[in-house]
Structure 1
Amino acid sequence: MRDLLILGAGPAGMAAATEAARLGLSATLLDEAEGPGGQIYRAITTGGASRAPLLGADYMHGATLAKDLMASPVEQIFTATVWDIAKSAEGVTLTYSRNGQAAQITGKTLLLVTGAIERPVPIPGWTLPGVMTAGAGQILLKASGILPERAVLAGSGPLLYLLAVQMARAGMPPLALVETQSTRDILRAAPLLLPGLRGWRTLLKGLGLLAELRRHGVRRITAATDLAVLGTDHATALRFRAQGRVQEIACATVMLHQGVVPNTQATRALRLDHQWLPRQRAFAPVCDASGATSAPGIYVAGDGSGIAGAKAAADAGRLAALTIAASLGHLTEAARRAQSRAPAARLSAERALRAFLDTAYPVPEAVLRPADGTTVCRCEEITAGQIRNWGRKGAMGPNQLKAFGRPGMGPCQGRSCALTLTELLAETHGSSPAEIGLGRIRPPLKPVTLGELASLHEGDTPL
């Protein structure tokens, strides 16, 4: 049995694993990617590093984390898709598939560092070929050096600035950056700027990206509303209202973004306590400063516990590793406190600007609670109007919706629609998303074949 299992090899996972090894813990790191880095540092040990001039200095911070991880004695299992997590008196067992075979591994403790996922952006036409998220565009660039041609970026959030700059550096700037946030949003966030100045480095980076966009001549349109992707078999244009009139931009690709939210699939499957984050309009697992959750022996760190960015995630991972080491007797409490001061201070500074950013880049109500004709569950092709209708007929929460249809029950298991379902039911019943909650998650967390199930030894199957 291992001392610590770590699920996720992004910045939090890499930092936690390296710290755990330094403290003498036997640790195993699992991730479904081919190597370390997570989404933010994807392909950092392969082709991504060669694209450093395009991706920027922040991306290269991942190279240091990955180098330290590779030099450590941590057991690393990549291309491993974890599809069941079971807690017992002995510890926590992960069941995963790799190369067509299923296997299990047990640890005394578990650190979930599953990161963030992009918030769904259900607007008319978002299911058309040629429409992707901004994060998907970044994955193409990091992993393959590919960028779509004739692209429009639309939505809100600093990631759009970063991607637009990266595209411009690559010689393929977006046709336009269509933003939903307005000057009014920035002014509303202004009182939160002074308390957030401990995160001044993040603020300067954002201002630098905006300045570079101007130098590249990228067209910016703000306060856009009524966004819709046009096309029959493929995206052909983005339509929106701005400056008092309806406008269209012909394009071949639309990349949408409205921020990221914690990936809670694993924490919900474990029935951990969760809380509603009003500013981020998302749920996150309840945890203390060290990442300890409502279940003894299970910890969370990084953006999976609340969005704060890659540098914050790394320090959160280190803090969790220190606490886990102390809980297992590898570190005294006094030593844990002493060694936690520096990462805790850095983490606090990284989080300082978050309230300002969340307020300055709000998610439009039209995205949170889309019009009746808009598809919200892509897997089952269910519209917002159907969800509202089922709510009026008696569905009080996402679990009750399953008596009327199959929203959230497709291959993505609600990853693309769960928050939208909650928002629509909250609107229908005049309640808050916190009261509505999220749907129940059951294993397998990812699709699994009968062959993979059969490859488990007798008595090992979690089903």
Structure 2
Amino acid sequence: MTHDLVVIGAGPAGMAAAIAGAELGLNVAVLEEQRLPGGQIYRNIEKVGPELSTILGPDYVRGRDLAGAFVASSCEKFLGATVWDVAPDLTVTALHRGRSLQIKSAQLIVATGAMERASPFPGWTLPGVLNAGAAQIALKSGGSVPSGRIVLIGGGPLLLLVACQLLSAGATITGIVETSPRGNVIGAVPFLPGALLAPKMLLKGLGMMRCIRQAGIPWYSAASDLLIEGTDRVNAVSFKEGSRGRRLEADTVLLHHGVVPNTQISRLLRVDHDWNSRQQAWHPRRDESCQTSLSGLRVAGDGGGIAGAVAAELEGRLAAIGAAHALGRLSASQRDQRVYPLRRALRAQHRIRPFLDMLYRPPGWITAPAGETIVCRCEEVTAGEIAQTTQLGSLGPNQTKFFSRCGMGPCQGRICGLPVTGIMARELGRSPADIGAYHIRAPLKPIPLASMALLEPFHTPHMQVTQQTAE
């Protein structure tokens, strides 16, 4: 027996898809790697108290109703389940409670969201250097705040949000070093009219900048030549602001250069992908119902293109409606009636995105690092080594992997994939779209060999308790 619909991920897109699918009468199963629903954006939303909710803000708190509706829905929930393989026939294999199980579905929605872009520059691998999103996860999970002097480096709305949240939580921020090139403003101007149609989002960004300014945090613009200093751990950040050298002492450095779609599963399934030059990332090619080039596979939310939590929720519902129509549970007219208001709302969410993409486009020394900068942390491969293999005739990232082992560590290329493509594109004078990306193979995540030996094929739905959590 198979499920009508399997959803991978219980963030805003996954929860919305599961709820909508169940409401449409589909037999739905959801697999989520965390022990609680919410994804990264709404992490720990069911457990957070009033004080921390105030610190995290209304955009975070709005996820509580969605998570509550998801928990109350009739779909089967496998929480603490790590998906490590997906077959072209849409059979999903996951590690759950120490054993691997398989679930087959007629329709599959991948809602694995986004991941932070790697920020490779000298010193980024030192202890005490984190992604800004990691600091936010610690705050959401247990109210933890880095001690000592914090310096934030990068650009983008999330960097501003994390800075404001940390300030509200009592953190000591000694500087924000923005790396967005000055030319980004000129590139963003043509998209300003569209952004002005989303005044609430613009005002939200201005409000965060006002919060930082009122706190008296030093702000450095268009920084270059960055170096994180330290031996056993970080102790300072040096950089240039224009022609002037700067140095900030730091106990913790938080990096952020935007988020990019997590395409590991769609890459594994070899669906068509396109290069988004504005977002400097790959995304799976989809239609308006989030359907990819593989029949029955839909990608909803930021995993299909960065647009934020509200857009992800809308896409999750659109994907579920598309799945129900594909299964014959909705006629074309019933489908169209349901999707019209969702698509209109989704267009409204997308209005500001081109402006933000251009305004916070990462600098070239991040997307294509050079010299002795480590690109692959797992195998300690430098940007210079990637450039050298390219000059010796590597035809793409996969051949570079054979020569250098870059991308063969535990992260399996999730972190280094985009920088490797960027370096090769620079060296060859070509577009990243021409260079391509790593081929992804199972297992998607490191798993115990014993769990593969104990594989339980084709889980039969509703034979276990409705909500299962990892012990």
TM-score (norm 1): 0.96
Query: CA 1:183/1:403 → structure 2, altered by over 3 Å: closer, same or farther?
Result: closer
What letter is aligned with 1:95?
A: T
For residues 429 and 164 of structure 1, the distance between their equivalents in structure 2, rounded to whole angstroms, comes to 38
Moved more, 423-432 or 54-63: 423-432
- Counterparts in 2 of 1:198 and 1:247: CA distance versus 1, 3 Å: same
- Equivalent residue, structure 2, for 1:174: 173
Amino acid at match of 1:102: S
Matches within 5 A, 1:234-313: 234-313=233-312
Deviation at 1:457, TM superposition (A): 4.5
Contact 1:199 1:351 in 2 (8 A): no
The within-5 A match list for 1:3-402 is 3-47=4-48, 51-88=52-89, 92-149=90-147, 150-402=149-401
SS of the residue aligned with 2:87? Answer: strand
Say if 2:55 and 2:165, in contact at 8 Å, map to a contact too: yes
Instruction: Judge conservation of contact 1:235–1:252 (CA < 8 Å) in 2.
Output: yes
User: After superposition, what is the alpha-carbon deviation per residue over 1:12-55, rounded to whole angstroms, capped at 9, x for unaligned?
Assistant: 00111111111111111111101111011111112366511100
Which string of whole-angstrom CA distances, capped at 9 and with x for unpartnered residues, describes residues 342-392 of structure 1? 211111111111110011111101111112110000000000000000011
- Secondary structure of 1:294's counterpart equals coil
CA contact (8 A) 1:396 1:425 kept: no
How far did residue 98 of structure 1 move? 1.4
The whole-number CA distance in structure 1 between the counterparts of 2:280 and 2:187 is 17
**1:179–1:221: 8 Å Cα contact kept in structure 2?**
yes
Displacement of 1:285 after TM fit? 0.3
Q: Which residue of 1 aligns with 2:463?
A: none
Deviation at 1:198, TM superposition (A): 2.7
Distance in structure 2 (CA, Å) of the matches to 1:216 and 1:427: 40
Whether the 8 Å CA contact 2:38–2:44 is kept in 1: the answer is yes
Secondary structure of 2:164's aligned partner? helix
Show structure 1 runs of 5+ residues with no match.
none
Larger CA deviation: 303-312 vs 238-247: 238-247
CA contact 2:262–2:303 (8 Å) conserved in 1: yes
In the TM superposition, residue 197 of structure 1 has moved relative to its aligned partner by 2.5
Q: Which moved more, 1:49-58 or 1:73-82?
A: 49-58
Two-structure CA RMSD over aligned residues (Å)? 1.4
1:413 aligns with 2:416: no
Matches of 2:66 and 2:359, distance apart in 1 = 31
Contact 2:225 2:239 in 1 (8 A): yes
Tell me, which stretches of 5 or more residues in structure 2 are unaligned?
Answer: 460-471
Cα offset, 1:216, TM superposition = 1.8
Q: Aligned pair in 2 of structure 1 residues 195, 168: CA closer, same or farther (>3 Å)?
A: same
Q: Deviations over 1:131-186 (max 9, x none)?
A: 00000010010001011121100011111110111111112141111101255422
> SS in structure 2 opposite 1:175?
strand
Give the structure, 1 or 2, with the largest relative contact order (CA under 8 Å, sep 6 or more): 2
Task: Report if aligned partners of 1:48, 1:142 keep a CA contact under 8 Å in 2.
Answer: no
Contact kept? 2:385, 2:404, Cα under 8 Å: no
How far 1:306 moved relative to its partner? 0.4
Amino acid at match of 2:132: A
AA in 1 matched with 2:25? G
Residues 181 and 363 of structure 2 are in contact (CA less than 8 Å); yes or no, is this contact kept in structure 1? no
Q: Secondary structure at the match of 1:236?
A: strand
Per the alignment, in what secondary structure is the counterpart of residue 193 of structure 1? helix
The alpha-carbon deviation at position 200 of structure 1 amounts to 2.1
Q: Distance in 2 between matches of 1:344 and 1:175?
A: 43
Q: Secondary structure at the match of 2:371?
A: coil
Match of 2:462 in 1: none
Percent identity between matched residues is 47
| Aligned AA (2:188) | A
Q: Contact 2:291–2:297 at 8 Å: present in 1 too?
A: yes
Residue type matched to 1:199 in 2? A
In 2, are the aligned partners of 1:236 and 1:251 still within 8 Å (CA)? yes
- Count of equivalent residues: 457
More deviation in 120-129 or 401-410?
401-410
Residue 211 of structure 1 deviates from its aligned partner by 1.3
Segment of structure 1 superposing worse, 196-205 or 387-396:
196-205
Following the alignment from structure 2 to structure 1, what is the Cα–Cα distance between the partners of residues 317 and 456?
35
Residues 165 and 173 in structure 1, CA contact (< 8 A), matched pair in contact too: no
- Note closer, same or farther for the CA distance 1:59–1:224 as it changes in structure 2 (3 Å cut): same
C-alpha separation in 2, matches of 1:402 and 1:68: 44
Contact 2:101-2:458 within 8 A present in 1 as well: no
* Separation in 2, partners of 1:456, 1:263: 26
Instruction: Give yes or no for contact 2:102–2:456 (8 Å, CA) kept in 1.
Output: no
What is the identity, as a one-letter code, of the residue corresponding to 2:120? Answer: P
Residues of 2 paired with 1:410 and 1:227: CA distance? 26
Answer yes or no: is the 8 Å Cα contact 1:9–1:36 preserved in 2.
Answer: yes
| Distance of 2:349 and 2:198 partners within structure 1 | 5
| Letter matched to residue 263 of structure 1 | N
Q: Within 1, Cα distance between the matches of 2:211 and 2:395?
A: 48
Question: What is the CA-CA distance between 1:330 and the residue it aligns to?
Answer: 1.4
CA shift at 1:318, angstroms? 0.6
The residue aligned with 2:467 is none
Change (3 A) 1:128 1:368: same
Q: 1:332 Cα shift?
A: 1.4
Q: Residue deviations 1:416-447, cap 9 Å, x none?
A: 10000101111111111001100100000011
Structure 2 counterpart SS, 1:404? helix
Residue 154 of structure 2 aligns to a residue in which SS? strand
- The alpha carbon displacement at 1:210 in A equals 0.9
Partner secondary structure for residue 77 of structure 1: strand
